[in-house]
C-alpha cells in the first residue's frame, strides 16, 4: 500500500474515531487528571475481543471520506448526532476536530440550538435537520426536511450524508455500550498502519 | 409511499460497506434466529416498513412460528421467549435507544449472564447493522411489501 493511501486509511476510514490523536485532546494537565480519576470503567475492550467486528464498522466511514459534501458539514453532523446520543468519547473528538479546523467556539456551543441562530448556513441547517430526523427516527423523515436537504445536496450527496449519519450513530453505540476508553483503538490504528 | 431516491442505485458504493457488516454477522456465534428476532424488533421500534416486511418473512422462512412474531412488540409481557432471548432483546433495545443514560448496568449485566463478550459485541453490531438499514430505507422511502425470503442473500455472503 502506498504511503498516501496509508494516510487516507487513517484520515478517512477511522474518521470519527481518529480524533483522539489530536494533540489538543487533553488541553490542560489538570483536566487530564480530572478526566482520568473519574473515568468510566470500560466494560469490554472491543478492539481486543471484537477486532473483526470493529474493522467491518470502519468500512462505513468510507462513504463519507470520498464525499463531495464539505468536511465541515460532516463534522457538524457528527458533533450534533453525538450530542443527541450522549456519546462523551465521540463528542470530545468531534468538537476537537471542529476547533482544529478553526471553527469558532460559538459554532460548536450553539449546535445544541442551531435552529435559533444565524451562525449556520442554509446548507448546514438542511444537513443538521436531515441528521436529526434520521437519528431520532420518530415518525420518519418529514417531507419538508427532505425538501430542504434536496434543495442543497445532490442525490448522491444525500446518500453519502445519510451514510455519515449512520457511521456516527454506529460509533456512538459502540462507545456508549461498551464504555470505550479514549485511545483504546490505537491498537487497531497501529495495525492498519503496518499493512 | 413514493420512493424519494433509490439509494442502492444512486450511490451503491457508499452503501456497500454495510453489506460487509451483514456478512460478518452471518458468521456470528449468536444464533441466526435470535439475530433475526433482534433485526425485527429494532425495525419495529424504528418504524421501518421495508425492514419489518423483510425480517418477518425471513423469520417465517426460518421456521419461526407466527405467534412469537406477532407478540414481539410486547415481548416483556409474554412467556413466549426464553431467558436468553429476553436478555438479548433488552440489550438490543438499550443499544438502539442510547441517549443520555446510555446502556444501563442492569441490562448489560443481565446480558452478560447469557452471552460471551464476543457475542455481546455481535449483538451490538447487529443493532447497528439493522438500524443503519432502517435509516436508509426510512430516509428514502424504499417501498415495502415485495420482499422475497433470501432475496438479498448474495449481497451479504
List chain A residues with CB under 8 Å of B102: 86, 176-177, 179
Q: Is the pLDDT of residue A21 over 60?
A: no
pLDDT score for A182: 65
pLDDT in the model for residue B123: 98
From the list B51, B9, B7, the residue with the least C-alpha distance to A158 is B7
* Cα gap A50→A177, rounded to integer Å: 13
Above 70 in pLDDT, residue A25? no
Query: CA nearest A55 in B: which residue?
Result: B21
Statement: residue A29 has pLDDT above 70 = no
Q: Which three cell numbers stand for residue A138?
A: 420518530
Residue B150 has pLDDT above 60, yes or no: yes
Q: Looking at residue B27, what is its pLDDT? A: 96
Res A183: pLDDT: 57
**Interchain contact, A141 vs B138, CB within 8 Å:** yes
Q: Which of A63, A169, A173 minimises the CB distance to B14? A: A63
Q: Which residues of B touch A162 (CB under 8 A)?
A: 7, 135-136, 139-140
Residue from A170, A174, A179, A184 to probe the interface with B (highest B Cβ count within 10 Å): A170
| Cross-chain residue pair B10–A156, CB shorter than 8 Å | yes
pLDDT score of A69: 96
- CB of B135 within 8 Å of a chain A CB? The answer is yes
Whether B107 contacts chain A with CB within 8 A: no
Q: How many CB atoms lie within 10 A of CB A121?
A: 13
Q: Residue A46 pLDDT more than 60?
A: yes
| Percentage of residues in chain A having pLDDT higher than 90 | 57
What DSSP string describes B122-147? HHHHHHHHHHHHHHHHHHHTPPPS--
B62 touches chain A (CB under 8 A): no
pLDDT bin (cut points 50, 70, 90) of residue A101 is confident
Residue of A53, A60, A85 with shortest CB distance to B121: A53
pLDDT, mean of residues A121-133: 98
Model-level pTM greater than 0.80? yes
The pLDDT of residue A39 is: 55
Q: Percentage of residues in chain A with pLDDT exceeding 70? A: 72
* Confidence class for position A180, pLDDT limits 50, 70, 90: confident
Confidence at residue A184, expressed as pLDDT on a 0 to 100 scale: 52
State the nearest Cα–Cα gap between A137 and chain B, in angstroms.
6
**CB contact (8 A) between residue A60 and residue B47:** no
- DSSP tag of A120: S
Task: Please judge whether A173 and B108 are an interchain contact, meaning their C-beta atoms are less than 8 angstroms apart.
Answer: no
Closest residue by Cα to residue B93 from A189, A156, B101: B101
Q: Which residues contact B28 (CB under 8 A, 6 or more apart)?
A: B35, B119, B122, B126
Q: Is A157 exposed, middle or buried (0-12, 13-18, 19+ CB in 10 A)?
A: buried
B97 touches chain A (CB under 8 A): no
What is the model's pLDDT at position A102? Answer: 79
**Range with the poorest average pLDDT among A28-32, A109-113, B63-67, B104-108:** A28-32
| C-alpha angle B126-B131-B134 in degrees, rounded to nearest 5 | 135
Q: Mean pLDDT, to the nearest integer, of B24-51?
A: 97
Test B135 with A59 for CB contact under 8 angstroms.
Answer: no
Q: Which of residues A32 and B73 earns the better pLDDT score?
A: B73
pLDDT of residue B148: 94
Residue B46 has its nearest CB partner, among A44, A56, A137, at A137
ipTM confidence score: 0.91
In the prediction, which pLDDT does B157 show? 74
Q: Return the pLDDT at A18.
A: 43
B147: which residues sit within 8 A by CB, 6+ positions away?
B50, B53, B54, B57
Q: For the packed helices B12-25 and A51-58, what is the interaxial angle rounded to 10 degrees?
A: 170
Mean of pLDDT over chain A: 79
Amino acid at each position: 500500500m502506498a504511503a498516501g493511501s496509508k494516510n487516507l486509511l487513517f484520515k478517512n476510514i477511522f474518521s470519527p474515531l481518529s480524533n483522539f490523536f489530536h494533540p489538543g485532546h487533553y488541553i490542560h494537565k489538570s483536566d487530564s487528571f480530572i478526566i482520568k480519576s473519574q473515568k468510566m470503567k470500560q466494560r469490554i475492550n472491543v478492539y481486543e475481543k471484537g477486532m473483526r467486528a470493529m474493522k467491518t464498522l470502519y468500512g462505513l466511514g468510507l462513504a463519507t471520506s470520498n464525499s463531495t459534501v464539505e468536511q465541515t458539514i460532516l463534522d457538524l453532523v457528527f458533533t450534533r448526532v453525538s450530542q443527541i446520543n450522549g456519546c462523551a468519547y465521540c463528542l470530545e473528538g468531534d468538537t476537537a476536530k471542529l476547533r482544529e479546523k478553526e471553527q469558532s467556539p460559538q459554532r460548536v456551543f450553539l449546535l445544541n440550538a442551531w435552529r435559533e441562530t444565524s451562525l449556520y448556513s442554509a446548507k448546514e441547517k438542511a444537513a443538521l435537520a436531515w441528521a436529526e430526523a434520521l437519528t431520532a427516527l420518530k415518525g420518519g423523515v418529514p417531507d419538508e426536511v427532505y425538501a430542504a436537504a434536496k434543495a442543497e445536496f445532490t442525490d448522491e450527496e444525500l446518500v453519502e450524508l445519510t451514510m455519515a449519519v449512520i457511521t456516527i450513530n454506529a460509533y456512538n453505540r459502540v462507545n456508549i455500550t461498551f464504555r470505550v476508553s479514549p485511545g483504546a483503538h490505537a491498537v487497531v490504528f497501529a495495525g492498519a498502519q503496518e499493512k | 409511499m413514493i420512493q424519494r431516491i433509490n439509494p442502492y442505485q444512486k450511490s451503491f458504493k457508499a452503501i456497500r460497506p454495510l453489506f460487509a457488516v451483514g456478512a460478518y454477522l452471518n458468521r456470528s456465534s449468536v444464533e441466526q434466529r435470535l439475530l433475526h428476532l433482534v433485526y425485527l424488533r429494532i425495525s419495529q421500534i424504528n418504524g421501518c416498513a421495508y425492514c419489518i416486511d423483510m425480517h418477518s418473512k425471513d423469520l417465517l422462512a426460518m421456521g419461526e412460528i407466527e405467534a412469537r412474531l406477532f407478540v414481539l412488540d410486547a415481548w416483556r409481557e409474554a412467556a413466549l421467549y426464553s431467558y436468553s432471548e429476553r436478555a438479548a432483546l433488552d440489550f438490543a433495545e438499550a443499544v438502539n435507544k442510547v441517549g443520555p443514560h446510555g446502556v444501563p448496568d442492569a441490562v448489560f449485566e443481565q446480558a452478560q449472564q447469557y452471552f460471551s463478550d464476543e457475542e455481546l459485541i455481535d449483538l451490538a453490531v447487529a443493532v447497528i447493522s439493522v438500524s443503519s438499514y432502517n435509516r436508509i430505507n426510512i430516509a428514502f422511502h424504499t417501498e415495502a411489501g415485495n420482499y422475497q425470503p433470501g432475496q438479498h442473500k448474495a449481497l451479504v455472503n
